[in-house]
């Protein structure tokens, strides 16, 4: 019983990781139904463990749970993306100006370190990891300002953006994002508020404009997607 109890979290985590990779690598389409029994059969586990994994994925916004219908891969729309990015541009323009006013060598060093970690994640070809690092750059700026309310609000918005970019952003555009972050840090270092704000707005516009909502996707079965 003790061994079984200790293995349970690992088993649930492995299901979460496998489904996350399949969604991030576009092997599972937005809107795909994730049948508990099919997943249980594929992984060789109980439906209880599958249900736990689906609930964790729902907390991460990757899966939508619908009463009496089951679990489905989330399908964020172009309209939702447009609204989220509009709010981000309003918040992050002022955040960038404030960062220029209060920047210190330690704060700038922290941002440079983050950009270096982004580039390392890009080299590793870990789609989920690189997506998290690129998204966290913006939350990190808010945290370094010491504004907990802004960090919380921005974290929620970026959580929604992270799902959108995870599903619809190409490897090439992700690498370009890291370069743009580096340019923003350079403008912050030079205390050039207007240039930093311009670069931030341009960066967010680039991310939004290059999301491929209409890209073709394979109609994989659960077994094919997770093979």
**pLDDT for 152-209, tens place per residue?**
888 888 877 777 777 776 667 778 889 999 999 999 999 999 999 999 999 999 988 8
Q: Are residues 65 and 87 in the same domain?
A: no
Which pLDDT band holds residue 7 (cuts at 50, 70, 90)?
A: very low
Which DSSP state fits 33?
Answer: B
Q: Are residues 71 and 155 in the same domain?
A: no
Sign of the torsion formed by the C-alpha atoms of 36, 41, 42 and 48: positive
Number of domains forming the structure of the chain: 2
Q: Is residue 14 part of a domain?
A: yes
Q: Are residues 95 and 34 in the same domain?
A: no
Separation between Cα atoms, residue 50 and residue 167, nearest integer Å: 22
**pLDDT for 44-92, tens place per residue?**
999 999 999 999 999 878 899 999 899 998 887 888 888 989 999 999 9
Residue 13's domain spans which residues?
Answer: 2-75
Q: Are residues 131 and 176 in the same domain?
A: yes
Nearest Cα residue to 76 out of 23, 112, 39: 23
Q: Is residue 224 part of a domain?
A: no
Q: Are residues 189 and 107 in the same domain?
A: yes
Q: Are residues 168 and 82 in the same domain?
A: yes
Q: Is residue 220 part of a domain?
A: no
Residue 125 belongs to domain with CATH number: 1.20.120.530
Q: Is residue 217 part of a domain?
A: no
- The two three-digit tokens of residue 63, written as one number: 């899966």
pLDDT, greater one: 104 or 160: 104
Q: Are residues 183 and 127 in the same domain?
A: yes
């Amino acid at each position: 019983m003790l061994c079984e109890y200790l293995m349970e979290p690992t088993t649930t985590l492995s299901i979460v990781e496998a489904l996350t990779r399949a969604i991030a690598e576009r092997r599972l389409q937005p809107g795909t139904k994730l049948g508990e029994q099919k997943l249980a059969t594929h992984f060789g586990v109980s439906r209880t463990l599958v249900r736990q994994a689906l609930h964790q994925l729902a907390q991460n916004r990757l899966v939508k749970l619908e009463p009496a219908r089951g679990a489905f891969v989330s399908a964020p729309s172009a309209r939702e993306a447009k609204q989220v990015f509009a709010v981000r541009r309003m918040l992050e323009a002022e955040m960038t100006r404030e960062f220029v006013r209060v920047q210190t060598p330690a704060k700038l060093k922290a941002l440079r370190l983050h950009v270096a970690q982004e580039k390392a994640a890009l080299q590793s070809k870990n789609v989920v990891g690189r997506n998290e690092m690129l998204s966290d750059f913006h939350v990190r700026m808010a945290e370094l300002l010491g504004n907990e309310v802004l960090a919380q609000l921005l974290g929620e918005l970026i959580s929604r953006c992270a799902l959108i970019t995870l599903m619809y952003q190409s490897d090439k555009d992700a690498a370009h994002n890291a370069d743009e972050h580096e340019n923003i840090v350079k403008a912050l270092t030079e205390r050039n508020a207007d240039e930093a704000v311009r670069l931030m707005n341009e960066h967010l516009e680039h991310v939004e404009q290059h999301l491929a909502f209409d890209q073709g996707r394979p109609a994989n079965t659960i077994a094919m997607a997770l093979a």
